[in-house]
Every structure is written in structure tokens, then in C-alpha cells.
């Protein structure tokens, strides 16, 4: 997957990495910043998605679609579609542009909505990447875990960078008898939960 990334995907990833780097130093307002995962986290979630069992693939928090591009690599490998949720109209438009430029429209389904208002329409979940506002993590976790198939994976970003804000949710996940969970020190720290 990583040694033969299609040129349009690679170029789009590089362009988004440049914008994200610039955002972090030029005073762009927080809500406008792309706030992307770093590439090593992209590789990590791509490998986990590619290794997940049956069930739908979802992403909560698309921004401009950088992390979705990594999941799209796994989607191509496995013949699967990623449904990605973005609440902001402006970010959704950026993501649409990203998916068109990268040529991944056929494996990505963008839903412009609050994940929490949409979740009841979802069936069984095989893989979920959670990267939304930290205040929503606990509610997203509680919405996703019951829908995970056995062996299904929930990966949550910022488990180390935002450890203080996420302590109650991290503690609940690490003690949750429904899942086996671990925090992996890659990128900003990934909470990985596997449904028992
Ligand atoms: C950290 S950014 C996502 C970055 C993206 N995953 C990446 O690495 O390229 C978080 C995004 O989640 C969106 N968001 C926040 N709460 C949401 C919700 N309840 N449903 C859908 N999107 C949400 C925000 O608008 C923001 O664009």
C-alpha cells in the first residue's frame, strides 16, 4: 500500500501537509486550521483498517480529508468504502476538493453532518477512526462501541497530546470489559480498542 501510492493521492497528501504545517505557525484561527494527523499516524490507521474484520468503516472528523486519504489506500486494498463525517460546511467543501483531486471519490462517502445525530442510521462497524472535538469523544465512544463487530477496531487520536482532557474517556476505555484497549505512542498518541 505504501510503496505504490498513486501519484494524485501522494501529491494531494503533500499539498495538505504543506498547508497544515503553515496553519500551525501563521496564526490561522483554530477552527479554520486543518489539524491533521501526522503521516506516521496515517500509516498506522491505514494498516489497522486494512486488518479490520467485516463491518462498515467510518471516520469521525474529516477536516480537509488528509486522514481519509490514508484510509482510502486501505479501502482500495480491501475493496471497501469509508464513510467520513464532517460537521463544518467549509471543511466538507475542502474535503470534496481533496477527494476529487486525489481520485478517491469511489472509495469515500462524505457525510456533512454531526456524527452523533447520524449514528442511529449506522449498522455494524468494523473500523472507526475518531478525530473530532475532544469534548465529543466520550459520546462518540459510547455510540460506536456497541456497534462494533467482534474484532472490530476503534482508534482515537490525541490520546497523549490531549491526555488531560481525555482522561475520563481513556480511563473508561482501558477499563471497559467490552473491549481490549491500549494507548500507542505514535504521532499524538492513539487509543486502540478491539471489541471482544
Ligand atoms: C482534528 S480535525 C480532523 C482532522 C482529520 N482527521 C485529519 O487528520 O486530516 C477535527 C474535525 O472534526 C470535525 N468535527 C468535530 N465534531 C464533529 C462531529 N460531532 N461530527 C462530525 N465532525 C466533527 C471538526 O469540524 C474538524 O474538522
Cell of 98: 481533496
| Residues contacting residue 23 through CB under 8 Å, at least 6 positions apart | 32, 33, 34, 35
- The verdict on the CB of residue 92 being under 6 Å from ligand 1 is no
Please write the tens of the pLDDT for every residue from 40-54: 999 999 999 999 999
- Tell how far the Cα of 86 is from the centroid of ligand 1, in angstroms: 6
Closest CA to 142 of 106, 116, 107: 116
Closest CA to 195 of 138, 128, 137, 119: 128
- Tell how far the Cα of 158 is from the centroid of ligand 1, in angstroms: 12
Please write the tens of the pLDDT for every residue from 57-92: 999 999 999 999 999 999 999 999 999 999 999 999
Please write the tens of the pLDDT for every residue from 85-101: 999 999 999 999 999 99
In this prediction the pTM is 0.97
Say how far residue 55 (Cα) sits from the centre of its chain: 16
- The verdict on the CB of residue 35 being under 6 Å from ligand 1 is yes
- The verdict on the CB of residue 57 being under 6 Å from ligand 1 is no
Cell of 151: 474484532
| Local confidence band at 12 (pLDDT 50, 70, 90 cut-offs) | very high
- The verdict on the CB of residue 115 being under 6 Å from ligand 1 is yes
Q: Which domains does the chain have, with CATH numbers?
A: 7-195 (3.40.50.150)
Q: Could you tell me what percentage of the chain is helix, strand and coil, using 3-state DSSP and rounding each to the nearest 5? A: 45, 20, 35
| Local confidence band at 31 (pLDDT 50, 70, 90 cut-offs) | confident
Say how far residue 125 (Cα) sits from the centre of its chain: 14
Q: DSSP string spanning 41-89?
A: HHHHHHHHHHT--SSEEEEE--TTSHHHHHHHHHHHHHT--EEEEE--H
Cell of 154: 476503534
Q: Distances from the Cα of 3 to the Cαs of 6, 43, 72, 192, in angstroms? A: 9, 11, 15, 25
- The average confidence (pLDDT) of the chain is 97
End-to-end CA distance of the chain: 28
- Tell how far the Cα of 87 is from the centroid of ligand 1, in angstroms: 7
- The verdict on the CB of residue 143 being under 6 Å from ligand 1 is no
- Tell how far the Cα of 131 is from the centroid of ligand 1, in angstroms: 6
Amino acid at each position: 500500500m505504501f510503496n505504490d501510492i498513486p501519484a494524485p493521492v501522494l501529491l494531494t497528501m503533500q499539498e495538505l501537509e504543506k498547508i497544515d504545517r503553515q496553519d500551525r505557525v501563521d496564526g490561522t484561527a483554530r477552527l479554520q486550521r486543518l489539524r491533521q494527523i501526522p503521516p506516521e499516524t496515517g500509516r498506522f490507521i491505514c494498516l489497522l483498517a486494512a486488518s479490520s474484520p467485516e463491518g462498515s468503516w467510518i471516520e469521525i472528523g474529516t477536516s480537509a480529508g488528509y486522514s481519509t486519504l490514508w484510509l482510502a489506500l486501505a479501502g482500495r486494498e480491501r475493496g471497501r468504502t469509508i464513510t467520513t463525517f464532517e460537521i463544518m460546511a467549509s471543511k466538507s467543501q475542502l474535503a470534496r476538493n481533496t477527494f476529487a483531486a486525489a481520485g478517491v471519490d469511489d472509495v469515500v462517502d462524505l457525510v456533512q453532518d454531526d456524527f452523533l445525530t447520524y449514528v442511529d442510521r449506522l449498522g455494524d462497524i468494523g473500523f472507526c477512526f475518531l478525530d473530532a472535538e475532544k469534548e465529543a469523544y466520550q459520546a462518540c465512544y459510547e455510540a460506536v462501541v456497541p456497534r462494533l463487530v467482534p474484532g472490530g477496531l476503534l482508534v482515537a487520536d490525541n490520546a497523549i497530546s490531549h491526555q488531560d482532557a481525555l482522561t475520563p474517556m481513556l480511563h473508561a476505555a482501558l477499563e471497559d470489559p467490552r473491549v481490549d484497549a491500549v494507548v500507542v505512542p505514535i504521532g499524538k498518541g492513539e487509543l486502540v480498542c478491539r471489541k471482544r
